[in-house]
Amino acid sequence: MAEALYLGLISGTSADGIDAALLSFGAEPRILGAHTYPYPEALRVRILALARASAQIALDDYGALDVEIGEAFATAALALLDTAGIDAAAVRAIGSHGQTICHRPAAPHPFTLQIGDPTVIAERTGIVTIADFRRGDVAAGGQGAPLAPAFHASAFASRAPCAVLNLGGIANVTLIGADGSVRGFDTGPANCLMDAWAARHLGQMRDAGGAWAAGGMPEPALLASLLDDPYFAMPAPKSTGREYFNLDWLDARLPAACEARNVQATLLALTVRSIADALDPAACGGLREVLVCGGGVHNRALIDALGAALAPAIVHSTAAAGVDPDFVEAATFAWLARERLDGRPGNLPAVTGARGPRVLGAIHPPGGGR
């Protein structure tokens, strides 16, 4: 019998496109094909508009956006299968994270909201689609995030003791102990503030390679003000998103006059300091290695600064462990789809704070019901 394949889909907090990864799971996960499908620019603009603290959306617009993102996710899945030369019938399931538009696990009525209609994905691809992974954990009193540590613990256990650091819009870290223990949480902003500031001042999606930040000087007073936010001192479990760390948050803390390039350098320093504080060797039990994934792995200035801040631990990409750093998150949701179909929990209560292990995700069969 041919080995079952799983396809993972996610658009992270940077909302720069949809990552798609096709995996098989044997002794170790194997990525058989992967690509990033860029959002149409008009769609990306509408998604990013929801990241502001004061964002609102009409019900008709919300419904249309949910379906439009679902269509884009289905297109990304089909494009990957076409490129890989794999028939949809060979794929047991798609695990779709969707697009987070609001994450409020600490609200009086906690919730997390990811959109991208999974019934559309199932119908367009003809593949069982599993989605809505986070809400089951939130309903059980958890943060609903990060979910990646459970996959990290499975994929990178042989590297312990180590940390896996995802540099998406938000940074999250998984600490895998030599004794097999796993901890994880969101440290704060990784790329989201730097990307938003570059968009405002350079008219570009990102500061390529961190070159603009590297040409500036961090502002000590501004950095201290940013680090004074209560989120950074909160104990785990904790999670956050663009609805908290955004330009509204930054603008409220900016001094009257500050050179734009120096602000970018300060934002890079904020990412490095908040991660370094979270990975303090004294608290991490002899950490030797930090495996980095996510879009920030391509920001040379950021990686160099992290290497200096986290020494003597070695900082390098998950490619050193045989996993493409651009598709670790997509691989996570392929893995979560498998766990759901096999009836195994997808969360780690020690990470999310949930009352116990929970089987996560809702199953959406295609029209044929397979």
Tell me whether residue 13 is in a domain. Answer: yes
Three-state DSSP class for residue 126: coil
Task: Let me know whether 174 and 317 are in one domain.
Answer: yes
Cα distance between residue 165 and residue 347, in whole Å: 18
State the residue range of the domain holding 19. 5-144+329-364
Tell me whether residue 46 is in a domain. Answer: yes
Task: Let me know whether 254 and 281 are in one domain.
Answer: yes
CB of 199 closer than 8 Å to CB of 290 = no
36-64 exposure pattern, b = at least 16 Cβ within 10 A, e = fewer: bbebeeebbebbbebbeeeeeeeeeeeee
Task: Let me know whether 334 and 358 are in one domain.
Answer: yes
Three-state DSSP class for residue 41: helix
- State the total domains in the chain: 2
Amino acid at position 274, single letter? S
CB of 32 closer than 8 Å to CB of 24 = yes
pLDDT at 191: 96
Return per-residue pLDDT of the chain as tens, 370 residues: 568 899 999 998 778 899 999 999 987 889 999 999 999 999 998 998 887 767 899 999 999 999 999 999 999 999 999 999 999 999 999 999 999 999 999 999 999 999 999 999 999 999 999 999 999 999 999 999 999 999 999 999 999 999 999 999 999 999 999 888 999 999 999 999 999 999 999 999 899 999 999 999 999 999 999 999 999 999 999 999 988 999 999 999 999 889 999 999 999 999 999 999 998 755 555 788 999 999 999 999 999 999 999 999 999 999 999 999 999 999 999 999 999 999 999 999 999 999 999 999 999 999 855 5
Cα distance between residue 284 and residue 223, in whole Å: 24
Tell me whether residue 235 is in a domain. Answer: yes
Task: Let me know whether 166 and 303 are in one domain.
Answer: yes
Cis peptide before 146 (omega within 30 of 0): yes
What's the half-sphere exposure (Cβ side, CA atoms, 13 Å) at 323? 29
Task: Let me know whether 55 and 108 are in one domain.
Answer: yes
Question: What's 187's domain CATH number?
Answer: 3.30.420.40
Task: Let me know whether 283 and 162 are in one domain.
Answer: yes
Cα distance between residue 266 and residue 278, in whole Å: 18
Question: The tokens of 152 are what?
Answer: 């990290």
Task: Let me know whether 305 and 343 are in one domain.
Answer: no
Task: Let me know whether 71 and 115 are in one domain.
Answer: yes
Task: Let me know whether 308 and 333 are in one domain.
Answer: no
Question: Of how many residues is the chain composed?
Answer: 370
Tell me whether residue 152 is in a domain. Answer: no
Tell me whether residue 150 is in a domain. Answer: no
Tell me whether residue 370 is in a domain. Answer: no
Question: The tokens of 212 are what?
Answer: 């603009």
CB of 349 closer than 8 Å to CB of 355 = yes
Task: Let me know whether 113 and 190 are in one domain.
Answer: no
DSSP string, 4-50: PEEEEEEE-TT-S-EEEEEEEESSSEEEEEEEEEPPPHHHHHHHHHT
Please give the model's pTM, rounded to 2 decimal places. Answer: 0.94
Task: Let me know whether 107 and 244 are in one domain.
Answer: no
CB of 20 closer than 8 Å to CB of 94 = no
Task: Let me know whether 265 and 305 are in one domain.
Answer: yes
Q: Which residues pair with 24 in a beta bridge?
A: 5, 30
pLDDT at 280: 75
pLDDT at 368: 55
Tell me whether residue 151 is in a domain. Answer: no
Tell me whether residue 256 is in a domain. Answer: yes
- Tens of pLDDT, residues 226-256: 999 999 999 999 999 988 999 999 999 999 8
CB of 182 closer than 8 Å to CB of 174 = yes
Query: Which residues does 276 contact at the CB level (< 8 Å), separation at least 6?
Result: 306, 309, 310
